[in-house]
Amino acid sequence: MAKPIIVQKFGGTSVADVERIQNVAKRVVRSRRDGFDVVAVVSALGDSTDKLIELAHQITEEPSERELDMLVSTGEQVSCALLTMAIHKLGEDAISFTGAQVGIITDNAFTKARIIDINAKRIVEGLRSGKIVIVAGFQGVSLNQDITTLGRGGSNLTAVALAKVVGAESCEMYTDVEGVFTTDPRIVKNARKIDRISYEEMFELASLGAQVLQPRSIEFAMKFGVPIHVRSSFSDKVGTIISKEVKAMEDIVVSGVALNKEEAKVTICDVPDKPGIAAKIFKDIAKEDINVDMIVQNVSRTGATDVSFTVPGQNLNKVIKVAKEISKRVGAGDVKYDNNMAKVSIVGIGMRSHSGVAANMFEALAEKGINIEMISTSEIKISCVVKKSEGEEAVRAIHEKFGLGKKKG
Ligand code: ASP
Ligand code: MG
C-alpha cells in the first residue's frame, strides 16, 4: 500500500549552516522512518538570497530580471544538494531536484512568476523507488526554458503547490518560530501562539506584514484546500494549523494584530468633485506599477474634496511626481505627503458576526492618545494609519484591549 505523503518545507534560518542542515536531515529521516513518503522543499541558506541580490546590485543598479532569477535560483540549488548529502550520510536514500527538473512550469514574469502547471513525474518516480525527494524551493522554468523565481518567500509556494500535486496529507512549514503569533513577539512580549487559524485570516495577516508566510502561498493553499502546519525546526512542539474556516473560529473576534511601518500617505487637495477624476488619478499611479493601499475621499461641500491614499514608503518619490502632474492636469490643489506613517490592523473572521469591534480598536488608540489619520475596513479586517513613531505602542494597546496575550497564571 502506498504510504501517506508529507511535504516539509524548511526556511532559510532552518538550513543556515551545516549543523542546521544536519538537524533538518534528521527530522526528514525521522518522518520517513515513521512511515511517510517525504518531499522536502528547501530555501536558500540563511540570508544568501539577500547576499546574491546585493552582489547583483554591486554590478549594476538595474540588473536584468532574467539574470537576477538565474542568479538567485542558485541559492536553493546549494541547499537542496547539501540536505540530500546529509540524508545519505544518515543511511537513507534521497535525491535532489531543481524546480525545472520536477516540471514546475511558470509564466515568464521574472522575479514574480506564476505557476502554470506542475508535472511532478520525477517526484512520484523518486518516491516510488523508495527515495526521499528534496526539491529546490522558489524556482520554476518558463515555457521558453528560462529559469524563473516565484517572488520572495516563494519556497512556501513551491511547498504548497507540490503538496497539492502529489496529494500530500499535510504541508509542514518549518521556521525559526513556534508558529503564527497573535502579533510580533518582538513588539508584544506576551504575544501568544495561535493554535488554529483560517486561510482568509492568515492571508490578511501575511499581506499586512506578518513575515511567516508568503501571501501567495496561502492563496494557493486556500484555493486547493491544502492544510498547512507552521512549526519550529528547533523543537517538536505543535505549531499553528492553517485550514479552512470551522465553526469554532467564529467566536474569536480578533485573531491577530499586524503592523506595517513602511507606509506613506499622500493627499491631493481640492480635487474637483466630478465623475472620472478618481479614475484618472489612480490610472496614472497604476501605470507606474505602484500599489495603492488605502484610499479616502471625503464628501465635498464646496465642489472640491481632498483625496488621500497610502503607498509603500519606498514608492513615495515616484508617487509625488505623478500626483503633482495629475493635480495640475485635473485642476486640483497642493500635494501633501508624509513618509512617517504606520498601518496597524486587526484581523478576525469573528468580526462578521460581532459588533463594536471597530469602536474597541479606536478606543484602545484613544486611551494612549494616539491619533488615527486614516481608517479602512473590510469584512474581516480593520486598519488604522497612525504616526510611525506610535505604531508599536498602538499594537500593544490593541493587543491588550482584545485580550490576545497569554493568559497569566
Ligand atoms: N530564498 C528565497 C527568499 O529568500 C525564497 C524563500 O526563502 O522562500 O526569498
Ligand atoms: Mg530566504
Based on the domain organization, do 166 and 263 belong to the same domain?
Answer: no
Q: How confident is the model at residue 63 (pLDDT cuts 50, 70, 90)?
A: very high
pLDDT for position 290: 87
**Residue 9 above 70 pLDDT?**
yes
Based on the domain organization, do 23 and 159 belong to the same domain?
Answer: yes
pLDDT digits (tens, 9 = 90+) for 99-158: 999 999 999 999 999 999 999 999 999 999 999 999 999 999 999 999 999 999 999 999
> Closest ligand 1 atom, CA of 150?
5
Based on the domain organization, do 17 and 154 belong to the same domain?
Answer: yes
User: Is the residue at 199 inside a domain?
Assistant: no
d(CA 389, CA 9): 36
Question: For residue 148, what are the contacts with CB-CB under 8 A and spacing of at least 6?
Answer: 69, 106, 107, 108, 109, 110, 111, 113, 139, 140, 141, 142
Return the exposure string of 92-123: e unless at least 16 CB atoms fall within 10 Å of the residue's CB, then b: bebbbbbbbebbbbbeeebbbbebeebebeeb
Based on the domain organization, do 264 and 397 belong to the same domain?
Answer: yes
User: Is the residue at 245 inside a domain?
Assistant: no
Based on the domain organization, do 20 and 168 belong to the same domain?
Answer: yes
Ligand located closest to 16 CA = 2
d(CA 8, CA 195): 19
Instruction: Using the mean position of ligand 2's atoms as its centre, give its distance from the Cα of residue 306 in Å.
Output: 41
- Could you tell me whether strands 256-272 and 139-142 are parallel, antiparallel, or unpaired per DSSP bridges? unpaired
Among 176, 202, 227, give the residue marking a domain's end. Answer: 176
pLDDT for position 409: 54
Based on the domain organization, do 12 and 111 belong to the same domain?
Answer: yes
User: Is the residue at 20 inside a domain?
Assistant: yes
pLDDT for position 165: 97
pLDDT for position 368: 98
Q: Which ranges in 208-253 belong to alpha helices (H)?
A: 215-224
Mean pLDDT of 392-403: 97
For ligand 1, is residue 313 a contact (CB within 6 Å)? no
User: Is the residue at 160 inside a domain?
Assistant: yes
Show the cell assigned to 117.
502547471
User: Is the residue at 248 inside a domain?
Assistant: no
Q: How confident is the model at residue 35 (pLDDT cuts 50, 70, 90)?
A: very high
Domain tally, the chain: 2
Instruction: Using the mean position of ligand 2's atoms as its centre, give its distance from the Cα of residue 15 in Å.
Output: 10
Mean pLDDT of 345-353: 93
User: CB-based burial of residue 203 (10 Å sphere; 0-12 exposed, 13-18 middle, 19+ buried)?
Assistant: buried
Based on the domain organization, do 154 and 13 belong to the same domain?
Answer: yes
pLDDT digits (tens, 9 = 90+) for 288-299: 888 899 999 888
Ligand located closest to 214 CA = 1
pLDDT digits (tens, 9 = 90+) for 295-342: 998 888 888 999 999 999 989 999 999 999 999 999 999 999 999 999
Instruction: Using the mean position of ligand 2's atoms as its centre, give its distance from the Cα of residue 57 in Å.
Output: 18
Based on the domain organization, do 33 and 169 belong to the same domain?
Answer: yes
**Residue 408 above 80 pLDDT?**
no
Instruction: Using the mean position of ligand 1's atoms as its centre, give its distance from the Cα of residue 153 in Å.
Output: 4
For ligand 1, is residue 44 a contact (CB within 6 Å)? yes
- Compute the mean pLDDT over every residue in the chain, rounded to the nearest whole number: 95
Ligand located closest to 149 CA = 1
- Could you tell me whether strands 5-10 and 170-175 are parallel, antiparallel, or unpaired per DSSP bridges? parallel
Domain span holding position 67: 5-176
User: Is the residue at 217 inside a domain?
Assistant: no
- CATH code, 278: 3.30.2130.10
User: Is the residue at 361 inside a domain?
Assistant: yes
- CATH code, 107: 3.40.1160.10
Among 150, 176, 202, give the residue marking a domain's end. Answer: 176
CA count, 13 A, side-chain hemisphere, 6: 18
Beta strands in 104-151 (DSSP E): 104-106, 115-118, 132-136, 139-142, 147-149
Mean pLDDT of 344-363: 94
Of 10, 41, 49, 175, best ligand 1 pocket probe by most atoms within 8 Å of the beta carbon: 49
pLDDT for position 288: 86
User: Is the residue at 194 inside a domain?
Assistant: no
pLDDT digits (tens, 9 = 90+) for 170-223: 999 999 999 999 999 999 999 999 999 999 999 999 998 777 889 999 999 999
User: CB-based burial of residue 85 (10 Å sphere; 0-12 exposed, 13-18 middle, 19+ buried)?
Assistant: middle
Mean pLDDT of 59-85: 97
pLDDT for position 246: 83
pLDDT for position 1: 66
Q: How confident is the model at residue 248 (pLDDT cuts 50, 70, 90)?
A: confident
Instruction: Using the mean position of ligand 1's atoms as its centre, give its distance from the Cα of residue 172 in Å.
Output: 16
> Closest ligand 1 atom, CA of 151?
9
> Closest ligand 1 atom, CA of 214?
8
pLDDT digits (tens, 9 = 90+) for 267-295: 999 999 989 999 999 999 999 888 899 99
Based on the domain organization, do 125 and 263 belong to the same domain?
Answer: no
CA count, 13 A, side-chain hemisphere, 340: 4
Mean pLDDT of 238-255: 89
Ligand located closest to 9 CA = 1
pLDDT for position 210: 78
Mean pLDDT of 50-64: 97
Mean pLDDT of 13-33: 97
d(CA 68, CA 241): 34
pLDDT digits (tens, 9 = 90+) for 36-51: 999 999 999 999 999 9
Among 147, 176, 205, give the residue marking a domain's end. Answer: 176
Least confident window among 61-65, 194-198, 250-254, 376-380:
250-254
